[in-house]
Structure 1
Amino acid sequence: MSLTELERGMRGELPKRLSLLMIMPTAALLIGVITLPTLLLLATSFTSPELGFKNYYKVNDPLYILVLFRTMIIAGATTFLAVCLGYPVAVLIARSGKIVAAVAIACVLVPLWTPVLIRSYAWIIFFQPNGLVNRYLIESQLISKPLRILYTDAAVVIALTHVMLPYMVLPIANSLKAISPDLPKAAQNLGAGAWSIFWRITLPLSLPGIFAGCLMVFVLTLGAYVTPALLGGPSTLMISTLIGQQITILLDWPFAGALSLVLVVLSLGITAVFRRLLKLERVVAYD
């Protein structure tokens, strides 16, 4: 063993060959189960005549444009609600003691521990015409007849916000923990109030976590399938459920591949925009 390898072993670092050998099973699984099937599905979108672009001309239909637009609106609304609801929880986690923070983290992670079908059916019980929400509103005499909540965009947004909240809270909490507690104290000693400290110090320095959370929530919501299918129904069609219909019901795999490629390009474009915003935010925050 050379001196360099000995030094790496003392620091707990593995040799490069051994590291590559250890990740090969996981890489092979990802390539075989996810990457190759996805590439094959995308390749089917070019199997039609007219240079393989017939399926992409079909995407320009107003119906599919409306579905894509609705998907982006729902993803944007879900991201906005996740920020509004998740930021106070992230502050609680970052500023509280270990016990309170552990309880808050456990409550945030409950949606990830619950199967997606159970979560969706629980929201159906809440939102159905004789469900808990309508029953409470009627008994409180706030409404005279049940509201139509189930199978609407609002039901999908609320349920997706519940599912995506952990992906927003945890990055923001990490950013808040990285802020030195001496900065707010110094600002307070200089006469700054609570709101001034928040707007000028806490919020700008936590923007990396906000942008990271927004990126994960927005992109994951674009590809959400089970929750929109169960709570949205046929009247609230998103691009993921549309792809599922093309594959399982209409058996139009080439068009499903075209829609999938559009979704992938859209996700990559949004990721690039968020990365650019994060770089600009760092320049502004530390200017």
Structure 2
Amino acid sequence: MTAFKSLYRSMRRVLPSITRAGSWRQYPIGLSLILIAPLFLLLGFGFVYPVAQLLGQSFFAPEFGLGNYRRLLETPLYLKVLVRTVTIAAIVMIAALILGYPVALAMARIRRKLSGLVMACVLLPLWTSALVRSYAWIVILQRRGLVNDLLLGLGAVGEPLKLIYTQSAVIVAMTHVLLPFMILPIFGAIRMIPPELEQAARNLGAGQLSVFIKILLPLSLPGISAGCLMTFILALGFYVTPALVGGPGSLLMATLIGQQTTETLDWGFAGALSTVLLCVTLLIVVCFRNVLSNNRGISNVA
């Protein structure tokens, strides 16, 4: 009973502080550590430990040294795959931005009911398995698929075009999958812009284009930055879609790492490839942040 009474007194002291603003500063250090321990354990066992083990294997397998990294740098194929991965990720990011910004703007400006319908259409790819989405693009782009049948029916081409298993097919499929990650941050940023700013600009004689360039676009840059970062980073690590839709000429780093771990069982070289891809990703993210940090909103987001 004494133990239960002491626990009850402790809870009575802690629970009222939860409802007060800034109450996290009043938590005892021991209780704070207990509360955040599950998160740190999950992060450690689910992310830090596997990454650290893969990094260690890149130096110790099959023997200690930098042999795996020398192999990567001395073989032109692997460097070509790395450059292709970064290039395709950048193209997908730009394509998603061009296609996603008008959709996000329309979602923020139309009526609430229609906005919810458009939001459901935007989120539909996220509700569908990546495997199903990739096979859907195979059905659309294959030699007897919807696109080739339409072109043949219109007489635009004399024979089916090779649309599937190409780098263009990879870009189209990845853009479709990653489009929601570009639209949603931009939509959130545009929704936060007070409509009075645009009304005031129009009352002062500004046109639609001038309002967009001088008000809407600068104030939505934080959402653009967040969407570009998420889309680019996710595109760098894409595996399922390039493996199914792409061909030998569109091999990406994630597919190459998968081959090293499942087919050749060369975990040391797979670790080296993963480490290089991780370092390149961090470098590009840092450069992206430094270039766009002149904008106050972007520096906070990135």
TM-based fold match above 0.5: yes
CA distance in 1 between partners of 2:255 and 2:115 (Å):
37
CA apart distance, 1:284: 10
C-alpha contact (below 8 Å) 1:171/1:213 kept by paired residues: yes
Amino acid at match of 1:11: R
Q: 1:49 to 1:115 in 2, by over 3 A?
A: closer
User: Structure 1 residue 55 and structure 2 residue 55: aligned?
Assistant: no
RMSD: 2.4
Amino acid at match of 2:18: G
- Corresponding residue for residue 4 of structure 2: none
Spell out, residue by residue over 1:74-125, the C-alpha distance to the aligned partner (whole angstroms, 9 max, x if none): 1011001100110011111211222111111111111111011101101110
1:9 to 4, 18, 25: 18
Structure 1 residues 72-83: aligned runs within 5 Å = 72-83=86-97
Structure 1 residues 99-248: aligned runs within 5 Å = 99-248=113-262
- Corresponding residue for residue 24 of structure 1: 37
User: Structure 1 residue 34 and structure 2 residue 47: aligned?
Assistant: yes
Amino acid at match of 1:181: P
Spell out, residue by residue over 1:105-150, the C-alpha distance to the aligned partner (whole angstroms, 9 max, x if none): 1111111110111011011101111111111111111111111111
- Corresponding residue for residue 85 of structure 1: 99
CA apart distance, 1:271: 1.6
CA distance in 2 between partners of 1:217 and 1:20 (Å):
34
CA apart distance, 1:50: 8.7
CA apart distance, 1:281: 2.4
CA distance in 2 between partners of 1:27 and 1:95 (Å):
41
CA distance in 1 between partners of 2:202 and 2:252 (Å):
48
CA distance in 2 between partners of 1:269 and 1:232 (Å):
27
Structure 2 unaligned regions, length at least 5 = 1-8
CA apart distance, 1:11: 2.8
CA apart distance, 1:245: 0.7
CA distance in 2 between partners of 1:127 and 1:74 (Å):
19
CA distance in 2 between partners of 1:284 and 1:84 (Å):
19
Spell out, residue by residue over 1:44-85, the C-alpha distance to the aligned partner (whole angstroms, 9 max, x if none): 110158962111111122111110111111101100110011
CA distance in 2 between partners of 1:100 and 1:77 (Å):
30
Q: 1:98 to 1:185 in 2, by over 3 A?
A: same
C-alpha contact (below 8 Å) 1:48/1:54 kept by paired residues: no
Question: 1:46 is paired with a residue of what secondary structure?
Answer: helix
C-alpha contact (below 8 Å) 2:292/2:298 kept by paired residues: no
CA distance in 1 between partners of 2:72 and 2:161 (Å):
34
CA distance in 2 between partners of 1:268 and 1:134 (Å):
40
CA apart distance, 1:19: 5.5
CA distance in 2 between partners of 1:11 and 1:278 (Å):
37
- Percent identity of the aligned residues? 49
C-alpha contact (below 8 Å) 1:41/1:257 kept by paired residues: yes
Structure 1 residues 248-287: aligned runs within 5 Å = 248-282=262-296
Structure 1 unaligned regions, length at least 5 = none
CA distance in 2 between partners of 1:200 and 1:96 (Å):
21
Amino acid at match of 1:270: I
TM-score by length of 1: 0.92
CA apart distance, 1:7: 5.9
CA distance in 2 between partners of 1:67 and 1:39 (Å):
24
Question: 1:84 is paired with a residue of what secondary structure?
Answer: helix
CA distance in 2 between partners of 1:21 and 1:101 (Å):
42
